[in-house]
Amino acid sequence: MMSLDPMLKARSVAVVGASERSGSVGDQTIRQLISGGFVGEVHAVNPRYESVHGISAVPSLEDIGASVDLAVLAVANGQLEAEMEKVLSTGTRSVAIFASCHGEAAGGGSLRDRLRDLADRGGVPICGGNGMGFLNVEERIRVCGFYQPEDLRPGGVAFLSHSGSLFSAMLHNQRGIKFNLVVSTGLEINTSMDAYMRWALDLGSTRVLALFLETIRDPDGFRQALGRADEMDVPVIALKVGATSKGQEAVATHSEGLAGDDAVYEALFEAHGVHRVWSMDEMADTVELFASGRRATASGLAAVHDSGGERALLIDTADRVGVELPPLGERATTRLSRVLDPGLEPVNPIDAWGTGRDAEEVFVECLQAVADDPAVGAVAFCVDLTAEEKPDYAYSDAAFTVAGLTGKPLTVLSNLTTTVDPAQAARLREGGIPVLEGTETGLRAIRHLLDRHERSIRLPLSSRLSPASNPVPEVAGEADALHVLDSYGIPVPRFEVAADEAALLEAAGRIGYPIVLKTAEPVDHKTEQGGVVVGLEDEARLADAYRDLASRLGPRVLAAEQIPHGVEIGLGMVDDEEFGPVVIISAGGGLIETMSDRVAVLPPVDKAGAVRALDRLRIRHLLDGARGRPPSDLDSLAEVIARFSEMAADGTGQVGAMDVNPVIAGPAGAVAVDALIKPR
C-alpha cells in the first residue's frame, strides 16, 4: 500500500504546465498554492516562462535538480505519458492529474492503463485523473486547478468525492462547514476512495467523513475503511448514486466503473452504520449537524415552534421520514403549562407563540423543559430566521442560552432555505449551533443523529446460533434445498418425493391431508407452468392432480403438508462478486415481483438485526395482524431469518444464489415452504 503522505502532506510541489494565462489550470494551480499559504517549495515547470507569478520557472521536471513530493501534471492528455516517465526518472513521490486521461497511449492501448502501469512500477500514487485535485485545509495545501474560496478555515469534516463539481460546491458552501481534507478522487487511476478514507481517519482532526460515491473500485479496501470508521466512532455520511438502472448507466459513462447493485450498498451501509443521504441538501444538513459534535442521548426529538401551521408541517414530515416525537413526561408538561399562553398545549411538538409577550423567556423555558426530559435525545428550535427591519437576536439568544444549559444536540431548524438570514445563521453557527435549512432535509439529518444513538445502544452481533456448520452441500432440487434448510434449524413442512402414483398416495398418508403437490422435475417457474396444486384434501383429488402433473411435466413430484395461511415473506441470497453474500428480505409470494418492498443485510445477522430489517418493510404492519387476523410469531420469523443468514454466510464461494419463497409467518410460527439453491 502506497503512502499518501507525499501527496496529501507534500512539502515540495512541482506544477508541470505552470502558466500565467488567465483561466488555465496551470495558472490557477499556482494561484491556489500561493493564496492558500503553502509554506513548502513550489517549482514552476514550463519551457515558455522564466517565472510564473514570481516563482522561477524551469523547462522540465528533470531540471529541478532534486526529487519533489508532488508533481501536478497540469497538461493535456497527449503530454501525460511523457511527463509520467519523467516522474519516475526524477524520483517524484506522488502525482495529481486534472486531465480526463482518455485516449490511447503512445505504444497503443489505453492511456489510463499506461499511466497506472507507470505509476505502480514506481510506487507513485496518483490523485485523479479527470478530477479537480485536493485541499488539505489544515496543512494549507491547495492542489487544485480551479478557484476555491480563500477564507477556508480548518475543521473536522473530510469530504471525498467522485464528482469534481460537488467537490467544489462543498468548498463553496456558505454554511460555515469547516474541512480538514477535501479530495476530488476522479478516475482513481491507482488511488481509490478507501485509501483516502483511511488517510483521513488517521488524521486526529477528522470528526465526520462525508462521501459522494459513484462506484467502488476496491471493495475489500472500502469495507475495511468503513469498519475502521465504525471502530473509531467516526460518522460516515454517504450519497451513493446509481441506485436506478438509468443512474447506473450514467455512472458507467462518467466514471468508467460500474455502479453496482444498490441492494449490496444498502446492506453494506446498514452493517457499518453508514448514514445514507439522498441529496446534497440532506448531505449538508447532516454534515453540519454531526460536525457540531453533540450526540443524541435518546431516540426522540422535541421541537419548539413559533407557528401552529409549521408545527403541523413538522408533524407530517417527521412521520414520513421516521423521526419519533415522544410524549413528554409529567415534569416537562408542568413546566410548559406554567409559561405557555392559554390555548397552547404543553405537548411535543410545542407551539409556543401566544401574545408575543416575553417571547425570549418563554422560548428559553420551553426549550430547557424539553431538553431536560429523558425521552428527548435532541431538540429542534423551529423558526425561519427571516431578516427583520432591525436586527433582532431574540431567537438566537434563546438558543445560545439553552445550548449553554444542556449537553444535548440543539439545532435551529428553518423551513425554507431561501428565507434564512445569512447574518443570523452565521451568528448561530459561529456559536456552535447548527442551522438546518429545510423541513425535510433537516428532519432527515436529525433522524441520522437519532439512528446513531439507537445503534450505539444495540447489543453487539451475537455469536453464531449454533456451532459452525458444514459448508452448504450441493443440491439437486427443492427437496435437497428443504433438507439443507432443515439442517440449519429452519422449520419446513413435512414432505416426501414420489415417482409414481402409488408411492405418492402412501407418502400422503404419512404426511396427512390437506396436501400441496408440486412437480419435482427440473422446471423453471413451476407455479406459472401449473406445477403447483394446493388444498388437496383426499386421495381422489390428489390422484387426479398427480395424473395431470405427470402427463404435462413428468412423473416425479413432491408432496408436502399444507401450512395454514399467514404473512408471506421472501428470503434470498446473492453472492456478489465484489462484496460477498447479501441477504434480501422482502414481501413474499406473488408480491415478491410486483412490490418493490425489500431490505438487504450482510450475513450473518442475529434475531435483533432480523427484527430491525423487518421493521423497514412496508408490509411490516401485516405481521402485527390486519383485518381481524391474529398477529404472526415475530420471534419465530426473526429466528428463521437469522438462521438463513448463517446459511448464506456458510455458502460463500460455492452458492451463487438461494431463494426461499415464501416463508409463511403465522401465529404458530414461521415455516419455509419452498426453496431453491443455485451453485456459484
pLDDT in tens, 61-81: 999 989 999 999 999 999 999
Residue 474 lies in a domain: no
Residue 448 lies in a domain: yes
pLDDT at 528: 84
Residue with cell 451568528: 427
Instruction: Give the count of beta carbons closer than 10 Å to the beta carbon of residue 35.
Output: 15
Task: Count Cα neighbours of 627 within 13 Å in the Cβ-side half-sphere.
Answer: 3
Query: What's the rounded Cα separation, in Å, for the pair 644 and 624?
Result: 22
Query: What's the rounded Cα separation, in Å, for the pair 131 and 17?
Result: 16
pLDDT of 415 higher than 70: yes
Residue 275 lies in a domain: no
Residue 389 is inside which H or E element, if any? none
Residue 671 is inside which H or E element, if any? strand 669-672
Instruction: Give the count of beta carbons closer than 10 Å to the beta carbon of residue 427.
Output: 19
**Cell digits of residue 36:** 492558500
| Position 472 confidence tier, pLDDT thresholds 50, 70, 90 | low
> By mean pLDDT, which of 149-158, 249-258, 273-282, 665-674 is the weakest?
249-258
Query: What's the rounded Cα separation, in Å, for the pair 74 and 272?
Result: 38
pLDDT at 187: 95
pLDDT of 459 higher than 80: no
Residues 6+ apart with CB under 8 A from 320: 440
Query: What's the rounded Cα separation, in Å, for the pair 158 and 171?
Result: 11
pLDDT at 53: 96
Angle at 394 between CA 389 and CA 395, to 5 degrees: 100
pLDDT of 357 higher than 90: no
**516 lies in the same domain as 579:** no
pLDDT at 470: 54
Dihedral class, residue 22 (left if φ above 0, else alpha if ψ from -120 to 50, else beta): beta
Query: What's the rounded Cα separation, in Å, for the pair 303 and 312?
Result: 11
Q: Give the mean pLDDT of 390-414.
A: 92
Highest-scoring range by mean pLDDT, 473-487, 586-600, 602-616: 602-616
pLDDT of 464 higher than 60: no
Q: Looking at the DSSP assignment, which residues form a beta bridge with residue 576?
A: 580
| Position 431 confidence tier, pLDDT thresholds 50, 70, 90 | very high
Rg (CA), the chain: 31
561, 587, 607 - which closes a domain: 561
Percent above pLDDT 90 for the chain: 82
**306 lies in the same domain as 352:** yes
**357 lies in the same domain as 385:** yes
**450 lies in the same domain as 411:** yes
The predicted-structure confidence for 151-208, as pLDDT tens digits, reads as follows 999 999 999 999 999 999 999 999 999 999 999 999 999 999 999 999 999 999 999 9
Q: Give the mean pLDDT of 658-670.
A: 94
Residue type, 540: A
pLDDT at 182: 98
pLDDT at 568: 94
Angle at 555 between CA 549 and CA 557, to 5 degrees: 75
Query: What's the rounded Cα separation, in Å, for the pair 137 and 101?
Result: 27
pLDDT at 200: 98
| Whether 325 contacts 349, CB under 8 Å | yes
**553 lies in the same domain as 595:** no
Q: Give the mean pLDDT of 302-309.
A: 96
Query: What's the rounded Cα separation, in Å, for the pair 250 and 256?
Result: 10
Q: Give the mean pLDDT of 350-369.
A: 90
| Whether 403 contacts 325, CB under 8 Å | no
| Whether 154 contacts 205, CB under 8 Å | yes
Q: Give the mean pLDDT of 358-380.
A: 95
**Cell digits of residue 149:** 474560496
Going from the C-alpha of 140 to that of each of 8, 41, 56, 134, 323, the distances in angstroms are 10, 13, 21, 11, 40
Percent above pLDDT 70 for the chain: 94
Q: Give the mean pLDDT of 217-243.
A: 95
**637 lies in the same domain as 520:** no
pLDDT at 430: 95
**552 lies in the same domain as 507:** yes
Helix (H, G, I), strand (E, B) or coil at 136: strand
Query: What's the rounded Cα separation, in Å, for the pair 47 and 31?
Result: 19
Residues 6+ apart with CB under 8 A from 99: 73, 75, 76, 77, 80, 128, 129, 130
Q: By residue range, what is the domain housing residue 655? A: 567-679
561, 577, 592 - which closes a domain: 561
Residue type, 376: V
Query: What's the rounded Cα separation, in Å, for the pair 172 and 597?
Result: 38
Residue 367 lies in a domain: yes
- Coarse DSSP helix, strand, coil percentages of the chain, rounded to the nearest 5 percent: 40, 20, 40
**549 lies in the same domain as 636:** no
561, 595, 616 - which closes a domain: 561
**540 lies in the same domain as 584:** no
CATH number of 646's domain: 3.30.470.20
Angle at 47 between CA 41 and CA 50, to 5 degrees: 60
**535 lies in the same domain as 593:** no
Q: Give the mean pLDDT of 389-402.
A: 86
Q: What's the number of domains the chain is made of?
A: 3
Query: What's the rounded Cα separation, in Å, for the pair 670 and 658?
Result: 18
| Whether 92 contacts 71, CB under 8 Å | yes
Residue 87 lies in a domain: no
Smallest Cα–Cα separation from 190: which of 89, 264, 84? 84
Angle at 490 between CA 489 and CA 496, to 5 degrees: 105
CA torsion 594-518-680-599 (nearest 10°) is 30
CATH number of 301's domain: 3.40.50.261
Helix (H, G, I), strand (E, B) or coil at 508: helix
Smallest Cα–Cα separation from 160: which of 186, 126, 124, 130? 186
The predicted-structure confidence for 2-52, as pLDDT tens digits, reads as follows 899 999 999 999 999 999 999 899 999 999 999 999 999 999 999 999 999
Query: What's the rounded Cα separation, in Å, for the pair 669 and 655?
Result: 27
pLDDT at 592: 66
| Position 390 confidence tier, pLDDT thresholds 50, 70, 90 | confident
**542 lies in the same domain as 571:** no
**What phi and psi values does residue 207 have, to the nearest 5 degrees?**
-110, -20
Q: How many residues does the chain have?
A: 680
| Position 468 confidence tier, pLDDT thresholds 50, 70, 90 | very low
Residue 506 lies in a domain: yes
> By mean pLDDT, which of 104-118, 363-377, 387-401 is the weakest?
387-401
Residue 175 lies in a domain: no
Angle at 677 between CA 673 and CA 679, to 5 degrees: 175
Q: Average pLDDT of the chain?
A: 92
Largest CA distance in the chain: 101
Buried b (16+ CB within 10 A) or exposed e, 221-252: bbbebbebbbeeebbbbbbbbbbeeeebeebe
Residue 517 lies in a domain: yes
Q: Give the mean pLDDT of 129-154.
A: 96
Crossing angle for the helix pair 501-511 and 539-553, to the nearest 10 degrees? 130
Query: What's the rounded Cα separation, in Å, for the pair 195 and 217?
Result: 11
CATH number of 530's domain: 3.30.1490.20
Query: What's the rounded Cα separation, in Å, for the pair 248 and 281?
Result: 22
**320 lies in the same domain as 453:** yes
Query: Is the pTM for the entire model greater than 0.85?
Result: yes
pLDDT at 467: 44
